[in-house]
Chain A
Amino acid sequence: MAGASRVLAWLAGAVVLAAPWTPALAQEPYKVGMTAAVTGPAAIEYAARVETFRAYMSKVNAEGGINGHPIQVIYEDDRGEPARAATNAKKVVEQERVVLLVNTSLSATYKPVMATVTETKTPLLFGGGVCPQEVFPPANPLMFCTTSFAAQIDSDFAVRFMKEASKGKVRLGTALMDIPVARIGIDTAEAVGRKIGLEVVGRITMPPGTADFTPFSSKLKDAGANWVFAWSPWSFQVGPYEALLNLGWQGNYLLYGHQQPIDAAYPRLNRENLYALVGASILAEGLPELKAMQETAAKHGASRLDVEGWVAAVAVHEALKACGWPCSREKLQGAMSGLSITVKGVKGGPIQWSRDNHFRTEQWYKVYRWDSARQRAVTAKGWTKVDVGQKLKELRETAK
């Protein structure tokens, strides 16, 4: 009995001593919800983003949270399915009363999630999935995006780069998976390509269940494409390229370089005709900032670093800091509307949101290619700024 009293006394003492050093644990948390494609076909791209996001949040909380308030993220898996995403959104917004919802999933999940946040006036961040129309000017006041890729602006930059990088005539072939956002991107590439004098020789649209890319790629090869541009989920960008290589095609291929897979693909393929357009740096370049991020992510339990996940997490952190305490949905929305997010080494410039532009006022691009002699990715075109408002006006004109 005496022993038990001594143990209780020790425990009580330990609690009293520990209390001043663990304020974050005692404070009420910032509650954030996330619906993400952690499993299902789209998990190939999204699972790593969620893992990195989780690691960053763990780092923030380990460092004491925001002024002592930890960030509590409620993660829900939607498998990239609209119905599950709708249920997840309702659950975290209505039951958990989160101040912010993050969507890291397929664009198919956007509509039901948007409906829920609109109804409840909850800010929504697209962090790692393609940026929807609603974040571009004139932006929906509740919706924001940190993702680096955006179908139309990417495609415009891509075809201009091809023209710039080619000495002779560009005979453009395009490749896409049959999903709406990829169609928008490729339509833009072809329209802008024609406008700037490229010859569009062929397009391959591949259904989601494609087993073998060779019959599709043969069509592009036979059409005489000397440049091919692909904008789609990763498998449908790299698949046609590898099939073209197998067919002995000698042209140049430009795709959107999602950081995780392009980092793995470059050394594996070891080809100099593969160009990657990016909005965020890749690890293969060996930048010290990214190495430091990789170490931090690993320290907090992530098996790999996904830059898009990291940037989304930084944005959530910065937004909550700007919101202060107590943080309401309305206050957070106001804070996010003027937010500037800088992730050094990852992007060419900050992600700056304004009242009517929740994509960013400036988009920065870089193009890589693989240097097989040096066995590393090298810059084919350095960070280049695109004025988003101006570019969108131009693209609207082109579409007319």
Chain B
Amino acid sequence: MAQLLANTLALASTYILLAIGYVVVYRSSRVLNLAHGELMMLAGYAFFGLVSATPGHPLWAVPAALVVAFLAGVAVYATLVRPMAGHPLFSAVLVTVSLGILLRGLVLLGWTADILYPLAVTGYKNAPWLLPGGAVLTTIDLLSILMAGTMLVALWGFFARSRLGIQMRAAAENPLLAAQRGVNIHLVFSLSWGISTFVAGVAAVLYASKVRLDPEIGVIGLRAFPVALVGGLDSLAGVLPAGLAIALLENLAIRYVSPLLSDVVPFLALLVMLFVRPWGLFGTKEEIERV
């Protein structure tokens, strides 16, 4: 039982880190970023490239990879999403789909389809830790849980307290009015894309260090998508319970029902939520009309 809970926390932390990205972008620009998983993958490859380029200094590679991830998000907004302003939101979503396919192709060209292990390059080990109750979690699991919590709290503080955060909320609420009040909405939007890919970068560094890095890890982004929807696409607070609930359901299915169900559990949870409460646990009711 203790191990089941530990596994749930570890899986939920990955889902939460990824779902944060969906929510931050949606909150500000109303775009569903369907290339989020691939942007996460790109950050993973940036991390691997930096780790390989600076052997012996792995701790530099982590912040550097996160900066690359942030800049990638800003660049995606500036080059692909901003030109779509004035067009239906659906067009911007399609642009992100194309971006995802393009990124996968580019990664394949640059690094081939080989499985890579960034942690092995750093020389660090992912040591297991025995927890009360006999459960085991590794260093990276613990870091992942810590980072998911930190990101949630930090972003909550940023949106609630900081001037820029409040401007971002205002721009999300009514971009025209915000612009008339002097808010630089393009700066605000690009920043939100940067934050989204930054957090995805954190997920990428941790996941690639724990499991592996290959062009297919972007699929995990798709699995985290139901977490964002179940929590409420415009609600950061909803990500936490949704991530925990879906990870718990997945672990319960693996242990007590059928391991094969683990693939569909997030989407079953999403379907149930869409029937019962289409705007998600903590989402805004009117938001669903926009989706």
Interface residues of A (CB under 8 A from B): 39, 41, 43-44, 47-48, 178, 204-216, 218-219, 222, 234-235, 239, 242, 245-248, 261, 264, 268, 303
Contact = CB atoms under 8 A, between A and B. Distances in A.
A208 B212 CA distance: 15
Contacts of A204: 259
A207 B105 CA distance: 24
Given A212-B10, A218-B4, A43 B117 contact: no
B153 to A, nearest CB: 24
Nearest to B114: A44
A206 B3 contact: no
Interface stretch (B20-28, B178-186, B216-224, B279-287): B216-224
B115 A247 contact: no
Contacts of A178: 260
A123 B6 CA distance: 53
Pairs A-B, 9 closest by C-beta atoms: A43-B113, A207-B263, A268-B120, A215-B254, A44-B113, A215-B7, A246-B138, A211-B220, A209-B263
A234 B216 CA distance: 14
Contact of B259 (A44, A212, A216): A216
Most chain B CB within a 10 A radius of its CB, from A178, A207, A208, A264: A207
Contact of B214 (A44, A210, A248, A268): A44
A39 B107 CA distance: 11
Contacts of B115: 44, 234-235, 261, 264
Contact of A239 (B113, B212, B258): B212
A248 B10 CA distance: 16
Contacts of A207: 259-260, 262-263
A214 B8 CA distance: 10
B251 interface: yes
A248 B262 contact: no
A41 B215 CA distance: 8
B254 A216 contact: yes
A211 B120 contact: no
A55 B25 CA distance: 46
B136 interface: yes
Given A207-B260, A212-B10, A303-B112, 19 more contacts: A41-B215, A47-B112, A205-B259, A207-B259, A209-B219, A209-B223, A211-B14, A211-B223, A212-B7, A212-B14, A214-B7, A215-B4, A215-B254, A215-B262, A216-B259, A234-B115, A246-B136, A247-B128, A247-B136
Contacts of A264: 115
A48 B10 CA distance: 34
B150 interface: no
B126 interface: yes
Interface string B219-245: 110010000000000000000000000
| Number of chain B interface residues as a range | 35 or more
B255 interface: yes
A47 B216 CA distance: 15
Given A219-B255, A246-B126, A248-B136, A212 B263 contact: no
A242 B140 CA distance: 13
A155 B19 CA distance: 41
Contacts of B114: 44, 48
B38 interface: no
A204 B220 CA distance: 20
Query: Max chain A CB contacts within 10 Å: which of B3, B112, B113, B216?
Result: B113
A214 B251 CA distance: 10
Contacts of A245: 128
Nearest to B140: A246
Given A207-B260, A239-B211, A246-B138, A43 B11 contact: no
Nearest to A247: B136
A321 to B, nearest CB: 32
Nearest to B212: A235
Interface in B105-141: 105, 108, 112-115, 117, 120, 126, 128, 130, 136, 138, 141
A48 B11 CA distance: 32
Contact of A210 (B128, B138, B141, B263): B263
A215 B250 contact: yes
B211 to A, nearest CB: 7
Contacts of B136: 246-248
B128 A248 contact: yes
6 contacts: A39-B113, A43-B113, A47-B113, A207-B262, A246-B138, A268-B117
A245 B125 CA distance: 12
Contacts of A215: 4, 7, 11, 250-251, 254-255, 262
Contacts of B250: 215
A205 B3 CA distance: 19
Contacts of B251: 215
Interface string B1-43: 0011001001100100000000000000000000000000000
A242 B260 CA distance: 20
A116 B87 CA distance: 46
Nearest to A41: B216
Contacts of A211: 11, 14, 211, 219-220, 223
B254 A219 contact: yes
Contacts of B215: 41
Contacts of A47: 112-113
A218 B255 CA distance: 9
Contact of A43 (B4, B108, B254, B260): B108
Contacts of A235: 115, 212, 214
Contacts of B7: 212, 214-215, 218
Most buried by A among B14, B115, B128, B214: B115
Contacts of A242: 211
Nearest to A37: B113
